[in-house]
Structure 1
Amino acid sequence: MKTLEIEKLFDRAYKAKAENNYWNQIFELRKFVNEKIISECFQRIDSDDLKYKKIGIDILSQLGANRKNFIKQLFERFFLIFETSENEKLIYTSFMALGHNNQHLKTNHFKILLKFVDSRSKKIR
């Protein structure tokens, strides 16, 4: 897939109003993941834009065996979000992504996750 087509998919995901449309774009983007897209997803996760962060997380967290080369980096981003963000949607997205990757959890991760046990948010608890 050409770079322009990939950018269109990222743009459509960013602008999607319906959840179904959003996930259709993410599904398409996952098909064409390579080193460049992985790098771009991490750049989006590291940005200040919450939608960009969500898109990057949603793509990378669902790559199955293909994510083994960057799972440590992805976990670092998840737990940075858990430790620093108060945005419910971003935390929820990170929890859902963690659910796709929970076999990589370590004991020290659970200590950080404990802070959400008493969260006001039903989605996060």
Structure 2
Amino acid sequence: MIIANYLSDSWISLIVVPYASSKIYTNTKYNNTWVGWAESATKDDLPNIFTAQLGTSNLEGNHATTIKGLWNSFPENQVFACNLVDSNNFCVCGYIYGNHKYGAVLYLAFNDCGIVKCNNGTFSDTKL
């Protein structure tokens, strides 16, 4: 258990890892009110999809174009993460909804990062 506090009892945070468990739980007290126990998500909680399932790769080197081409292959209404393996070895994570008309996908690569957003079927890119 890890206990952190600030200014006596006005803010306290508890982090607990039970014996023989890979789960992490947190609880925070602020202004004499406990938030309640919450279980932290792990990477295993995210659905993973891979290049073989998507059937494509980032051959042209433009990640935003690749994401737009794969948009309808990503799962809908759930947070997802995947690794698109090619010479850039880049990964994406995001959330898509509304029959693939809305959402955002973050892409991270050695040479280029950004976000592809979709609003009512219209795409926009944001470089990071």
TM class, shorter-length: under 0.3
**Structure possessing the higher relative contact order (Cα contacts under 8 Å, 6 or more residues apart):** 1
Determine which structure has more spread, i.e. the larger CA radius of gyration: 2
The structure carrying a bigger strand percent of its residues is: 2
The structure carrying a bigger helix percent of its residues is: 1
